[in-house]
Every structure is written in C-alpha cells, then in structure tokens.
C-alpha cells in the first residue's frame, strides 16, 4: 500500500494582491454608517476585498440587495477617481479621487425638513 501525503492548499506566490480600504478610509465609511444606523436608514453592511476592487455594501435589511455600494478601484485613480458610490440600480451617484467628497452624496440623505 502506497501512502500519499495530503496536497496542501495552494497559496498565492507573492504578497496579497487584493484591494482593501486602509484604516483612514474605513474610519470615514464607518462613521457615516454609524450616523445612518442611528437615523434608522441602514441596518447591515458587508465588505468584499477582491483583486481589482474593494466594496463596502450597505443594506436596509439583511436579506436584501445592497442599497448602496462604496467602491475603491485603484486602477481608475488617474482617470475618473478611485472612489465611487453606486446605487441599487447600478447608477453611479458620485465618483472622485477624494473619499470625503464622494461620501457627501450619502450625507445629504441625513438632512431632513423638520415640521
């Protein structure tokens, strides 16, 4: 009987080449998220770190499609800007090179008329 050792899982050969939000970017996003949760607008989030894009998805309820996606695409840094806010229907609400400027489109949702 020949005993064959188990095959190890394949490991990436180089450094981890996934795109991710850094600590400052994530702090800005989570600050906005916390204010929207306190206002009762958002309830859940999800994060995906892929090879060419990092995505922060915002949900109104857990079992729904995301109502907004905040994306970071470093390849678009020199052209349209690496940050984008995308609505549920795929419409790009704002795109730019500065994350605080891009997130302002969502902060407008907090402003309501008081009667």
Residue 59 resides in a domain: yes
Residue 2 resides in a domain: no
Q: What tens digit of pLDDT does each residue of 87-101 get?
A: 888 888 889 989 899
Amino acid 60: pLDDT: 84
Residue 15 resides in a domain: no
**Residue 21 phi/psi, 5° resolution?**
-80, 140
Q: What tens digit of pLDDT does each residue of 21-36 get?
A: 889 999 999 999 898 8
Residue 13 resides in a domain: no
Where is 45: in which H helix or E strand? strand 44-49
Report d(CA 34, CA 26) in Å as an integer: 12
Residue 64 resides in a domain: yes
For the cut 50, the answer to whether the pLDDT of residue 113 exceeds it is no
**3-class secondary structure, 46:** strand
**Residue 46 phi/psi, 5° resolution?**
-145, 150
Residue 63 resides in a domain: yes
pTM, two decimal places: 0.76
Residue 98 resides in a domain: yes
Residue 16 resides in a domain: no
The residue among 101 and 8 whose pLDDT is bigger is 101
What mean pLDDT do residues 36-43 have? 86
What mean pLDDT do residues 33-60 have? 88
Domain that holds residue 92: 23-109
Where is 32: in which H helix or E strand? helix 23-38
Number of domains the chain contains: 1
């Amino acid at each position: 009987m020949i005993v064959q050792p188990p095959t190890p899982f394949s490991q990436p050969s180089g450094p981890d080449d996934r795109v991710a939000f850094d600590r400052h970017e994530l702090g800005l996003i989570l600050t906005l998220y916390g204010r929207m949760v306190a206002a009762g607008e958002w309830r859940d989030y999800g994060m995906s770190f892929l090879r060419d894009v990092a995505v922060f998805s915002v949900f109104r309820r857990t079992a729904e499609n995301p109502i907004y996606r905040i994306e970071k695409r470093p390849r678009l840094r020199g052209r349209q800007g690496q940050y984008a806010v995308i609505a549920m229907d795929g419409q790009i609400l704002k795109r730019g090179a500065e994350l605080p400027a891009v997130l302002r489109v969502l902060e407008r949702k907090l402003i309501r008329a008081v009667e």
